[in-house]
Structure formats: C-alpha cells, structure tokens
Amino acid sequence: MMTLYRKKSSLKKLIAATALALVSATALPLVSTSGFAVAQEATEGRQFSAKAGEAVNAALQLINNDQHKEALVALNAVLVFPTLNPYERSTIYQMQGASHYELNDYAATITSFRNAIKAGGLLPNEINSLQVNIAQLMIASGQYAEGAQALERFINRTGQVKPAYIEMLTQAWVQSENYKKALPWAEKWFKAARPKERKHFDLMNFLYNNLGMQARQADIVKQMIGRWPEDKNLWDAWASMLANGGREQEAFEVTKMLYLGGALNTEQDLMKVVQYYSFYDMPFQAAEILEKEMNAKRISRSSEKMVQLSSLFRQAREYKRAIPILESAAASSGKAKLYADLGEALYNEGQCLKAETAFKSAINKGYDAGKSWMLIATCRYEDTQKQARINCKMSEAEKRSAPITKSRESAIQAFEQVPRSSREGRNAKKWISFIKAERQAVENRCIFEANVVKELCFAIIKGAYDNEVFVGRFDLDDPKCEAFKEEYDSKYRVKIVER
C-alpha cells in the first residue's frame, strides 16, 4: 500500500514555499535569515509597518533557530498590535502555522492557516496553496473524510487536478473506508500509473472486491495472474470469485490444479480440497486425501477430523476402513453419536454382535433408543437370511430348536425394545407382524405339503382295497402310505359288528 501522505520533510518544504514565502514585503531593509526574509513590497496594502516588520523579523530569527515555542510567543504578541493590516495578519498566522507544524500540532496548524485565509490579506493563488495544505494536514492527522472533502472542494472550484492530489484522495477515501468515493480517484491513479506496479493492482483488486464488482475484479485478477503466476493468493482469489459467481465446478478445477501442483500447504487450503471432493460426490477421493494429509501431519489428527474421515469412508461404503477410525474416536471422546456411527458401520459390515454392543453403549450415553434398537433388530433379522430354512420333514422339536427359529425370536425381542413413543415405534410393530407372518407361512407350507401327501396316500389305499377283490390280497404300491392306513380306515372303512 502506498504511503498515505507525504513525508514530513516534503510537507515542510511545501509549507515553507507557500505559507512563509509571503513574508517578503516590509518597509524595513531586507533582513536575511537561514530560511526566510522580510523584504519591501511595492504592492499597495501588502507591506509591513516598521513596528510590525521589526517584530516579525525577530520572530523569524527564532523560527530559523528552531525555537518555535518562543516564536509563537513573539507572534502572538505581534497579533495584538492595534493597527495591523489584513496582509500582516495573514502572514503572521501563516508563520504561526509553520511553527505549530514543526511542533507536530496539526490541529493548531490547521487553525492558524484558516485564520490566515480569514484575515483577508492573501492573493487567490496563496489561498489555494493554503487550502491544499489544510486538506493535506487533515488527512495526515487522521481526518480522512474531512480532508478528502476539503481537497475535492478545492479541485471542483479551481479545476486543478495534480497526480499528487489524485493519490492523496485515493488514500484518504480508502482510509476512511468509503470505497465508493475512493473508486473514481483510484481508477484515475491506476490509469495514469507508468509503469503499473503491484500496489496499483492490489488497490484496485481490494476496492472491486469490497464494492462487490466481481466482473471488474475478475479482470484485474486475471491481469495479475498473468504478471505474477507464482502467487498462490491470486489463484485462491480467482477460485473464490468463480465459486461466488456460481461457477463452482471451475473453482474446483482451479483448486484441484493447485493441490496437484503442490501449491496448497496450509490446513485450511487442504481442507478446502477435501470439501470440494466431498461436495462433488467423491467421498472416497476426499477420504483418501484427508487420510494422506493427516498422516503427513499437514492436517491435524483431531477427533473432529477423525469423525469426518470415518464419515467419508462410510459415504463411500468403505465400512472396513471406517470402523477402526470410529472405534478410536468413540473411545477417546465417549460421545454417544460416535458409538452410534460405529454401530452403523459394524451393522453395514454384518458384524451384528459388535454393532449391538456399540448401539447399546450409544443408548446408555443418551442416544436415540428407537433408532438404535431398530438397527439391532434389523441386524438380527438379517442374520436369519444366513440360516438354513425349516424343513417340513423336521419334527416340531427340531423346528423349535432350529437356528433360524431362534434368530427370528431374537429379532422380535429386539423390535419389541423399540419404544412405542419413538418415531420408529410403528415400523417396529410392522416388522414384528412381518416376522410372525413369515414364520406362520412356513408352518402353513408344511401343513399343506403334509396334506398333499396324505390325500395322495388315501387315493392309493382306496385303490388297494378296490384291487383286493381281483388279486385276493391288500397290496399298497407305495409303502410310505402305510402310515396313513389306520386314519383312512377310521374315516372311510365301515366296521361290521357281528352279533
């Protein structure tokens, strides 16, 4: 950023040239000092009387010897002279202003210069010079907006626009944070700069950014990247502008290019890369980058980052890689949500017993019991799909002790643990009904199969009885139907009772 105002030595020269050079007309002979002189002036009304001139000469001696406090006392004594003309008063006030300036009292300097103008003894060009000095002093003393307004009024009145004024106005309005006022002066300053330096581009970039002028800022940043392609901050700014302008995909490509090129090193920048990959539905790549940078110690291995890593692996369905991370994070933090996340990862890997343990820990720490028990129960039910089906040839005792039967009962017990008040309560009831219906369907199937066999055997038995007349004996074609003969006889054979 360029210097806000001129150095004191430069300002001192300017004041000496404009304010004190006027002390040049008097009725006394020329009195030389190290810096200033009082001389005769033929212009009517612009000369010192002998008495005032002698007193002012004495004050000049003090000024030239850097005895400014003493000079101010002497000048104040002259100001009480009853016969001073406007020219004398204007000159004395200017001399006062010069001494106040040397004593670093800018407020008193400004007051003295204003009094010099008010006294009415100055020519138009002298007034103009003092007004510029006043504006410059106001800016130098931190009255940025007031000083800038004073300088603008001077320019509007006189039409004098010097490069130094443009630079001064640009900086004053920037310092007052009135960027809208600063912009036109900054654009003039930028346009006139030969050659253009980094400070010129930086200021325009700053102003366009703060004024929300994205198109113009983009143009400046493009020019800057062309001049300073190695500056990562410029690329970051370009990516941010793309993102803010709704061009997220292009911003991602710029960020990815910077990462692959090794230009991103801070944790903030690296996390931006991770977030971009995640945002564009690439959780596995995001997890790989996060894990790599954590191992390289460029991203902190905090519990928050560990949770994020596990979450990305779970989104990518890489549950095996997520589980050890979650186990570590849950153990170190003791948070219910992490135990629930661990349970879910274990559930997705089909590790029901471990998942159940994790979910119960989550419940004990205050996590949603309904959701936890639903997943426990679901995992138990899914375990039934791995078990051997019920065989209708099994005895009732064998059916009751079958692993699939026990798994179904265990799942029902878990679904019954879901609180009725829970949002999952209704779903749990539906699951219980479904499992019971599934179990009943197996029983019905076995009953149906048994009935089909029995009816077939009944037909075979009837045929054997019918053939007995012709073959002289009862002969079953299918020996397994022997088991149904007694029942058939009791239902269909008429028992003849002899008397």
Q: Could you give the CA distance from residue 33 to residue 30 in angstroms, rounded to a whole number?
A: 10
Enumerate residues 6+ apart whose C-beta is below 8 A from 497: none
At 360 the three-state DSSP class reads: helix
- The distance from CA 419 to its chain's CA centroid, rounded to whole angstroms, is 40
Highest mean pLDDT range out of 103-107, 227-231, 457-461?
Answer: 103-107
Residue 211 lies inside a defined structural domain of this protein: no
Residue where one domain finishes, among candidates 117, 141, 165: 141
pTM of the model: 0.47
Task: Express as a percent the part of the chain with pLDDT over 70.
Answer: 89
Neighbours of 197 (CB within 10 A): 9
Please give the pLDDT value at position 101: 93
410 or 20, greater pLDDT: 410
Please give the pLDDT value at position 464: 83
Please give the pLDDT value at position 94: 94
Q: Is the pLDDT of residue 134 over 80?
A: yes
Residue where one domain finishes, among candidates 141, 167, 196: 141
Residue 441 lies inside a defined structural domain of this protein: no
> CA separation (Å) from 435 to 66, 405, 425, 439?
104, 10, 16, 6
Residue 40 lies inside a defined structural domain of this protein: yes
Kindly write down the DSSP assignment for every residue of 52-114, as one continuous string: HHHHHHHHHHHHHTT-HHHHHHHHHHHHT-TT--HHHHHHHHHHHHHHHHHTT-HHHHHHHHH
- Can you say whether residue 31 is alpha, beta or left, with left for phi > 0 and alpha for psi between -120 and 50 degrees? beta
Q: Name the nearest CA neighbour of 214 among 189, 180, 237, 185.
A: 237
Residue where one domain finishes, among candidates 119, 141, 163: 141
The neighbouring-strand residues paired with 38 are 31
Residue 389 lies inside a defined structural domain of this protein: no
Residue 162 lies inside a defined structural domain of this protein: no
Residue-averaged pLDDT of the chain: 81
Q: Could you give the CA distance from residue 318 to residue 309 in angstroms, rounded to a whole number?
A: 11
Q: Name the nearest CA neighbour of 116 among 102, 104, 103, 98.
A: 98
- N-term to C-term CA, the chain: 134
Kindly write down the DSSP assignment for every residue of 371-412, as one continuous string: HHHHHHHHHHHHHHTTSPPPPTTS-HHHHHHSHHHHHHHHHH
> Running DSSP on this structure, what letter comes out for residue 498?
P
Domain with 47 in it: what CATH number?
1.25.40
> Running DSSP on this structure, what letter comes out for residue 316?
T
pLDDT digits (tens, 9 = 90+) for 256-307: 777 776 777 888 888 988 888 888 788 898 888 888 888 889 998 887 888 8
How many structural domains does the chain have? 2
Q: Is the pLDDT of residue 337 over 60?
A: yes
152-161, 199-208, 405-414: segment of lowest average pLDDT: 405-414
Q: Is the pLDDT of residue 30 over 50?
A: no
Please give the pLDDT value at position 384: 80
Residue 37 lies inside a defined structural domain of this protein: yes
Highest mean pLDDT range out of 7-11, 81-85, 230-234, 354-358?
Answer: 81-85
157-161, 261-265, 487-491: segment of lowest average pLDDT: 261-265
pLDDT band at residue 19 using 50, 70 and 90 as cut-offs: very low
Please give the pLDDT value at position 2: 33
Domain region containing 483: 448-492
Task: Express as a percent the part of the chain with pLDDT over 90.
Answer: 27
Q: Name the nearest CA neighbour of 408 among 388, 424, 394.
A: 388
pLDDT digits (tens, 9 = 90+) for 68-82: 999 999 999 999 998
Residue 14 lies inside a defined structural domain of this protein: yes
Q: Could you give the CA distance from residue 78 to residue 92 in angstroms, rounded to a whole number?
A: 8
Please give the pLDDT value at position 494: 67
pLDDT digits (tens, 9 = 90+) for 455-480: 888 788 888 888 877 777 888 877 88
Q: Is the pLDDT of residue 489 over 70?
A: yes
Residue 115 lies inside a defined structural domain of this protein: yes
Q: Could you give the CA distance from residue 484 to residue 97 in angstroms, rounded to a whole number?
A: 132
For residue 178, the one-letter residue type is N
Q: Name the nearest CA neighbour of 60 among 42, 49, 50, 75.
A: 75
Pairing of strands 37-38, 31-32: antiparallel
